[in-house]
Amino acid sequence: MKRERLDFLADNPRYTKRFAYYVGKRCRASTIRDIAEELGLAWHTVKELEMQYMREQLRRAGTPGPKVIGIDEVSIRKRHTYRIVVSDLVRMRPIWFGGEDRSEASMDSFFEWLGPRKTAGIRLAVMDMWRAFRNSTERHAPQAHVLFDKFHVLRHLGTALDTVRKSEYARLSGKDRRFIKGQKYTLLAHRENLTLEGRKSLKLLLAANKRLNTAYLLKESFGQLWSYQREAWARRFFENWRASLKWQRLKPFEKFAEMIERHWDGIAAYCEPENKVALGFVEGLNNKIRVIQRRAYGLRDEEYLRLKVLTTMLPPL
């Protein structure tokens, strides 16, 4: 007996593709549980139909030939379990999710998937300062410029500021501590993102502690580095910023400046006009992935997570 394949049926022959795509489209904004309860379907059925929808999205999108890529890692569970996410920063969408960790071998897997011809078309790779990512990229795509992501660099500066805050809290005692306690977010956040109460607390804190005031002003001014159109101007700004650390007794900031010096080429690359790419996309994608993980709490299907990440920026069918 021959079983006939009907193109309008979904992978689950109880449902049509049209219904599967309807379910998948609804799941873009709702949880599997919510859609299952609304449509009177089993949880696993909704998940299966959504995965078929997402695979069709990827099939229609095709495999891109990226010119500018963004590389980052994402934690998928506790105990430092990471996967690598690579995005096409021109098309503004993730294109690869995989690897076993954030090692050089895992990064190699991306270039093997992309293939030599499309890898040769990459002209710029945006990443954090993780050595494994840089080594793999320089080996597989030596023609590509490496650009270190601004937000990862500034995160290191935020860590330096928080280290100063902790040392000041440990140095002081009694009532002097009350200005510092619980003010981590106030110091690290951009001033425009603070509430009125937060701005008042910040003003009080900076007036009460000279060293924290100096560290905060240095942190706020450093972002200017990415506004220059020529490397020589950016270098002059950095040298002046570094010189202002003298006599300030801010060891964490001195270590940060040494790190910038070691990675200068990958930071100064942003001064080139053709390298002025949207550096906020990778950070925004990370936030989207965290939302996906919260909504899928308890779901350990990594293939489902991979599909959700890769289709999060694709248009609906």
Do 25 and 124 reside in the same domain of the chain?
A: no
Q: Which percentage of the chain shows pLDDT scores above 90?
A: 51
pLDDT of residue 75: 84
Cα(140)–Cα(152) distance, integer angstroms: 23
The answer to whether residue 82 sits within a structural domain is: yes
Do 119 and 143 reside in the same domain of the chain?
A: yes
Summarize pLDDT for 150-175 with one digit per residue, the tens. 889 999 999 999 998 888 878 777 77
Q: pLDDT averaged over the chain?
A: 87
Summarize pLDDT for 271-294 with one digit per residue, the tens. 888 888 877 788 788 888 888 877
The answer to whether residue 183 sits within a structural domain is: yes
The answer to whether residue 216 sits within a structural domain is: yes
pLDDT of residue 195: 80
Summarize pLDDT for 100-127 with one digit per residue, the tens. 988 999 999 999 999 999 999 999 999 9
Task: Report how many domains make up the chain.
Answer: 3
Other CB atoms within a 10 A radius of the CB of residue 234 amount to: 20
The answer to whether residue 10 sits within a structural domain is: no
31 close to 40: Cβ distance less than 8 angstroms? no
Provide the 8-state DSSP code for 278.
Answer: -
Summarize pLDDT for 300-311 with one digit per residue, the tens. 788 998 999 999
Do 156 and 265 reside in the same domain of the chain?
A: yes
Classify 178 as helix, strand or coil.
helix
Task: Assess whether pLDDT exceeds 80 at residue 250.
Answer: yes
Q: Which of 196-200, 239-243, 274-278 is predicted most confidently?
A: 239-243
Q: Which percentage of the chain shows pLDDT scores above 70?
A: 94
Do 167 and 239 reside in the same domain of the chain?
A: yes
Do 78 and 132 reside in the same domain of the chain?
A: yes
Summarize pLDDT for 5-22 with one digit per residue, the tens. 545 556 666 788 888 899
Other CB atoms within a 10 A radius of the CB of residue 65 amount to: 15
Q: At 82, which CATH number?
A: 3.30.420.10
pLDDT of residue 167: 85
Do 113 and 52 reside in the same domain of the chain?
A: no
Do 132 and 158 reside in the same domain of the chain?
A: no
Cα(266)–Cα(129) distance, integer angstroms: 9
The answer to whether residue 130 sits within a structural domain is: yes
pLDDT of residue 211: 87
Q: 188 is in which domain, residue-wise? A: 151-273
pLDDT of residue 298: 54
pLDDT of residue 4: 46
Do 141 and 284 reside in the same domain of the chain?
A: yes
Provide the 8-state DSSP code for 16.
Answer: B
Do 54 and 167 reside in the same domain of the chain?
A: no
Task: Assess whether pLDDT exceeds 90 at residue 76.
Answer: no
Do 55 and 115 reside in the same domain of the chain?
A: no
pLDDT of residue 8: 52
Cα(34)–Cα(84) distance, integer angstroms: 30
The answer to whether residue 8 sits within a structural domain is: no
Task: Assess whether pLDDT exceeds 80 at residue 182.
Answer: no
Of residues 9 and 243, the one with the higher pLDDT is 243
pLDDT of residue 267: 93
Of residues 95 and 211, the one with the higher pLDDT is 95
Do 81 and 224 reside in the same domain of the chain?
A: no
Do 55 and 83 reside in the same domain of the chain?
A: no
Q: The whole model's pTM is what?
A: 0.83
317 close to 164: Cβ distance less than 8 angstroms? no
pLDDT of residue 291: 81
Cα-to-chain-centroid distance, residue 77: 16
For residues 62-77, average pLDDT: 88
The answer to whether residue 307 sits within a structural domain is: no
The answer to whether residue 4 sits within a structural domain is: no
